[in-house]
Structure formats: C-alpha cells, structure tokens
Amino acid sequence: MTLYRGMDRQHLDAAYNNGAAVVRAPEWRAKWAADSERIRGARHHRLDIRFGATARERLDFYSADRPHAPTLVFIHGGYWQMNDKENFHFIAKGPLAHGINVAIVEYTLAPEADMDRIVAEVRRAVAWLGDHPRELGGDASRLYVTGHSAGGHLTAMAMADPRVKGGMPISGIFELEPIRLCYLNEKLQLDLTQTDRHSPMRHLPARGAPQIVAVGADELPELVRQSKDYAEAWVGKGLPGRYLALAGHDHFSILEELAEPDGLLTKALIELVAA
C-alpha cells in the first residue's frame, strides 16, 4: 500500500534509515567519540549546565576566550530517540578556531518525551543562552543555531526565537509526515496534530533570520529532497538564506565540514555571523 510519495512502508523505512544506508556509520560514531574526548582535554569548557528541571536539560559550553564572542548552539541528531551531547563535542573545533563559542545541547529522548516536549526543551535551551550571555562570556545579540539530522529539524524549530540571528540546519527533516508513517514513529508516536505543529515546512514565518540549509549530496534522496524543498520554500517566501549541497558527503561525513576550521560548514557559519 502506498503511504507517501509513491512509497509503501518497506520503501519508506529504507528511505529514512541513515544508519543502514552508510556502511561506515559505526566508524564515524567511534571517530566522533574519540575526537570529542580529545577536545575536552584541550579546550576550556563547562559541562552539564542546567537550563531546565529535568535530567537531560543540560548543555556543555566551550568558550572561545574572547569577550562578547558570538555563540553557536549545536543540537545533536539521532532521530529524536538516541545519542548524547558528549559525543558531539568534536564539532566545536571548527567554530572555536574563528572565535565562536559553542554550546552543545542535550534533550529528553523519545519515547520518554514526545515531540511537543523535545521542541519545548530545545527552545528553552536557546532562550537560556540568550538570557545568560554575561555568565558565559557571550553576546546575546550574536546567537546562532545549528544541528544535524533530527537536530536540523530542531534548528528550524528554534528559529522562532527572535534572538537567534541565523540558523544552519544540517541534513534535517522539515516535513514530519513521512516520519509519522515509517518505523521511526514506533517510539515517537507522532499524531496528526503534532506532525502539523512541528513540521517547519508548514509554518514558514513572515519574517526570519538567515538560514543556510545544508545537506550532503550523497545522502539518501529523501534527505536531500527535504533540505532542498525547505530551502526553496524559505527563499521563495522572501526569507534570507540559501541551499548548500556538499558534494561527496553522506549523512555522517558531512559533520567533518563543521569540525574543521577550514571546513565548508565552518565557512558557511562564518558567513552567517558576518551577515
């Protein structure tokens, strides 16, 4: 039975299974963990800063050691149901090299949390960072958000905060209907109302900060389509931003372009900050 864009359940499941599509996925995860441990030993940081009352409402902060520096908020992926912030510290290396603070956010995972709660927690983290710039040595007027995969979706949802001056969703999900219809919903339990409420494609603002919508050109076709469609809809409404497809990158390798000081995503971030 066709469920979405001509796909039945089997094909839809495969269309969103990044781990199965990338043979090197376990290697990338191991590399991220090792690189994250190295940067923890090399850079000044604060761990487990609480921005909310529940156990996973915490963030880790890397300081660029510059007064009034811009701050990048990074939101990890894992299809809203796996991963921890500690294994994504490695991405701080690129922004720090250019004088940008990095805050890495954790949030409650499904099935313990539904999408309403996950989105609310991420928005609370961004609001907390906007409210506490002096405590961390940042500048409240220079707050930027990025995230990978499910974190790309949450980046788009965080753009509603007027203090966010730019966003860079990476390999994100912007229409949740296929997620509701595939294997991922076994833990998420999205209903029609939540699917509508938290699909960024359906709620483009009248005004918004710039977004660079990035994706690996070698990712699953559905991931590429989601990013391309969202970027076209965003720009088509007269909102500032652009689409950035990174040649030669899959769903995992793309993050290396943010972790490196001269990476393409690091350069895109610098473009956002300069704007």
Instruction: Provide the CATH number for the domain around residue 117.
Output: 3.40.50.1820
Q: Would the pLDDT of 141 be above 80?
A: yes
Q: What is the pLDDT of residue 194?
A: 98
What domain count does the chain have? 1
Q: What is the pLDDT of residue 131?
A: 92
Is residue 2 assigned to a domain? no
pTM above 0.85, yes or no: yes
Summarize pLDDT for 230-261 with one digit per residue, the tens: 999 999 999 999 999 999 999 999 999 999 99
Q: What is the pLDDT of residue 23?
A: 93
Is residue 79 assigned to a domain? yes
Q: What is the pLDDT of residue 133?
A: 79
Is residue 268 assigned to a domain? yes
Cβ–Cβ under 8 Å, residues 151 and 170: yes
Is residue 249 assigned to a domain? yes
- Quick one: angle between helices 150-158 and 115-131, nearest 10? 60
Domain holding 119, by residue range, is: 9-274
* Separation of alpha carbons 177 and 174, rounded Å: 9
Please, which pLDDT band fits residue 15 given cuts at 50, 70 and 90? very high
Cβ–Cβ under 8 Å, residues 169 and 156: yes
Is residue 244 assigned to a domain? yes
Summarize pLDDT for 149-187 with one digit per residue, the tens: 999 999 999 999 999 999 999 999 999 999 999 999 999
Is residue 112 assigned to a domain? yes
Q: What is the pLDDT of residue 139?
A: 86
Q: What is the pLDDT of residue 212?
A: 98
Is residue 4 assigned to a domain? no
Summarize pLDDT for 82-106 with one digit per residue, the tens: 999 999 999 999 999 999 999 999 9
Residue 163 to residues 42, 51, 71, 116, 138: CA-CA distances in angstroms?
30, 17, 12, 21, 13
Q: What is the pLDDT of residue 10?
A: 97
Is residue 3 assigned to a domain? no
